[in-house]
Amino acid sequence: MARIVAGVATSHVPAIGAALDLGKTGEPYWQRVFSGYEPSKKWMEETKPDVCIVVYNDHASAFSMDIVPTFALGCAPEFPPADEGWGPRPVPVVKGHPELAAHIAQSVILDEFDLTIVNKMEVDHGLTVPMNLLFGQPKEWPCPVIPLAVNVVLFPPPTGKRCFALGKAIRKAVESYPEDLKVVIFGTGGMSHQISGPRAGLINSKFDKAFLDNLVDNPKKLARMKHVEYMREAGAEGVEMVMWLIMRGALDDEVEETYRFYTVPASNTAVGHIIMENPKKHGGKKKSPAKKTATRLAAE
């Protein structure tokens, strides 16, 4: 049986992609950001997922304003990088997993979540930047990826509650897939940021840190949060964080926090990142509370 072993949340700031592509990661401004992902890359190398499901949003790259699906599942064999105005990023083509993706589509749609099935799609920084942050800059991505694009750019995005429930349906789908596959699910976007209008540049670290705490221990509280609260507290683009709830819904109610990182700012955005693992049910040792506290403090 396939199983989801962990969830990863991370911001997907486009300038992080530009810093990587232009070889600026060693500059002090960027070093502060990239150093926070070194433990995560190591964790990913050790975890070696067979497949990743990456929940992200398209920024009018693959979908113009002509067609804006609420939830679009990538079922294609591959997803080339999108041209976001400066040519496609020099990153590998993302290979899909059409069999598992079709299985998820069937299970989730028959569970009454009306996904859009996408058989051809380019992927923008929303997906490729988190891939770089967790996998570095390899010639080929080390595992197939199933993209799940969520509309958070045109009002109304789906509610946090719906996203959380979709995560649960995705988990059920994965666990009914017969092949033994280790799956890691990503939630991307956020944290607080607003990139236009009078409040451009807004960052709310207090809100972001509470969001990270609740994501671990009280995700149901976050699932009740309304869009207006995201917008008011975390800025217009902060609403991207509803996507993290899809990832969180796909995990156990109780998770172990493996790692957390938060820094301000990168470009216009607060960068937040967390890795949570499902407790290992068979013989795995639960991490001691002391270790959990230590990771949290280290990330502050």
Whether 243 and 268 have beta carbons less than 8 Å apart is answered as: no
User: Is 195 an interacting residue with respect to ligand DHB (CB under 6 A)?
Assistant: yes
**Residues 80-109, interacting with ligand DHB (CB under 6 A):** none
Choose which of 59, 162, 209, 260 interacts with ligand DHB (CB under 6 A). Answer: 59
For 206-215, letters b (16+ CB in 10 Å) and e give ebbbebbebb
Contact in structure between 276 and 257 (CB atoms under 8 Å):
yes
188 contributes a contact to ligand DHB by CB under 6 A:
no
Classify burial at 286, counting beta carbons within 10 Å of its beta carbon; exposed 0-12, middle 13-18, buried 19 or more: exposed
Question: Nearest approach, Cβ of 17 to ligand DHB (angstroms)?
Answer: 10
Of these, 103, 162, 193, 209, which contacts ligand DHB (CB under 6 A)? 193
Are the beta carbons of 63 and 96 closer than 8 angstroms?
no
Considering only 192, 194, 269, 278, the residue that binds ligand DHB (CB under 6 A) is 269
Q: Verify binding: residue 51, ligand DHB, rule CB under 6 A.
A: no
Of residues 193 and 260, the one with the C-beta less far from ligand DHB: 193
Question: Residue 165 and residue 167: Cα distance in Å, rounded?
Answer: 5
Under the criterion CB under 6 A, does residue 273 sit at the interface with ligand DHB?
Answer: no
Site for ligand DHB in 223-252 (CB under 6 A): 237
Q: Does 267 bind ligand DHB (CB under 6 A)?
A: yes
Amino acid at 183: V
Report the catalytic residues.
125, 193
- Of these, 107, 268, 278, 295, which contacts ligand DHB (CB under 6 A)? 268
The candidate with the shortest Cα–Cα distance to 36, out of 215, 204, 237, 275, is: 275
Question: Taking a C-beta distance cutoff of 8 angstroms, is the pair 159, 229 a contact?
Answer: no
Sites of contact with ligand DHB (CB under 6 A): 12-14, 59, 189, 193, 195, 237, 267-269
